[in-house]
Amino acid sequence: MGFASGTFTFRRFAVVGPGAPQQVDESHLQRLSELALRSDELIAPQEEEYGWCGGRHILDNQFSFEHNVFNDCICFALRVDTNKIPGDLKTAHQLMEEEAVAKSNPSGFISRLQKKEVKQTVQEKLEEELRTGRFRRSRMFPVLWDFPAGMLYCAISGKTFEKLDELFERTFGLNLLPISSGSLALRLLEPKGHRRDYEDAKPTRFVISPDGEGIYPDYPWVLKGPEPKDFLGNEFLLWLWLQIDTNEGVVKINKTDPVELLIDKSLDLDCAFGQSGRDSLRGSGPTTMPEARHALRTGKVPRKCTLMLVLNRQQYELKLSAEDFAFASTRLPEVEDADSPRVLFEERITLLRDLLEGWDALFATFLKIRCSTDWEGQKATIRKWITAGTQTPSAALASVG
């Protein structure tokens, strides 16, 4: 299973709807089993089919507490099958049949009626080939449904997410809400009475636009996306970068131990004004490269990076996408002294919950500043830090302060 060992990639989806369950029971496993995709039962396969599978492998159709329930979570998978004969092969069959029929005609040409008959014959042959499973291609997307958190974790997006959401609603009568930086901001701010602050939030201008001082960033990638406040994720990542440079990567949240952060190995930036293109920096300490600060000065903001985090004295590593808060290549701390695969998996689920709880607390710390009068001072600090040149961050801030 994708979450049980090694690194894994996922996005979060809130489970929403009336009567969303807080704990696993036998009925959930039964519903998954009822809508499992069983290729051996398919008589006339469709071009695309999808359903559930047990998650241990692509043909796993068994659902049980022993194999699928761990630490108040269900681990299973979405299976998506395609049954499609390549277009070139279809064309080849059609031409071969037409040539064979044409040879039997005195004129050497195939008639319009014969061409129609050939098309029907070829279609029947292709359907027979599809039934053999020769052209079936199957993919499996691991899913972890965390009942206490009310969240589902899966590495999925676009059309495949639409399939997951439709199937989940058909199975459980519930929907899935993608958790991006913008939607998470609303979930964190609204209970504290700050919905108006969320609605009023507009992109911050940290540098002068290539088109002039009065132009504010429009974040082209956010305009194309479903959540208009996802620019908050880019600003959050920029704020974290500031903490790494000026505060040794230590951020205090409402816990005994602060969070320690480091951006390493990779950093991708894009122009918030849609003018100066993209930069992809690779190597040790990408934020210290001259190209990184130059990118900020030309209006770029961070979009993706590899983050090292220390939470509760445990070290995590992941590749973060700032707008949709997708976690790629997530590496959890090693679990020591696990005496069975079940214990190991359940400990990893606990570590994953700790990571996400710490991450949300970190984002909430940023939002508290972002939605207060303190943001003006923080904005000024970020602007000075960006334009401070090649000095070390602490020295630069002292010189302009």
In DSSP notation, 11-25 reads EEEEEESTT--SS--
**Most confident among 6-15, 42-51, 333-342 (mean pLDDT):** 6-15
Give the mean pLDDT of 328-352: 95
Q: What percent of the chain has a predicted confidence (pLDDT) above 70? A: 94
Identity of residue 225:
G
Please provide the distance, in angstroms rounded to a whole number, between the alpha carbons at the two ends of the chain.
Answer: 53
CB neighbourhood size of 258 (10 A): 15
Identity of residue 35:
L
> By the 8 A CB rule, do 312 and 328 touch?
no
Q: What does pLDDT average to over the chain?
A: 90
Spatial distance between the Cα atoms of 264 and 251, rounded to a whole number of angstroms? 17
pTM of the full predicted structure? 0.86
Which secondary-structure segment (H or E) carries 318?
strand 314-321
Give the mean pLDDT of 38-45: 63
Which tokens hold the place of 89? 């092969």
pLDDT of residue 395 exceeding 70 = no
> By the 8 A CB rule, do 219 and 203 touch?
yes
- Predicted confidence at residue 130, as pLDDT, reads 72
- Predicted confidence at residue 103, as pLDDT, reads 83
Give the mean pLDDT of 125-151: 86
Spatial distance between the Cα atoms of 38 and 53, rounded to a whole number of angstroms? 8
Strand pairing report for 314-321 and 326-331: antiparallel
pLDDT of residue 399 exceeding 50 = no
Angle (CA) 200 203 204, round 5° = 110
- Predicted confidence at residue 301, as pLDDT, reads 97
Q: CA nearest 371: which of 214, 199, 234?
A: 199
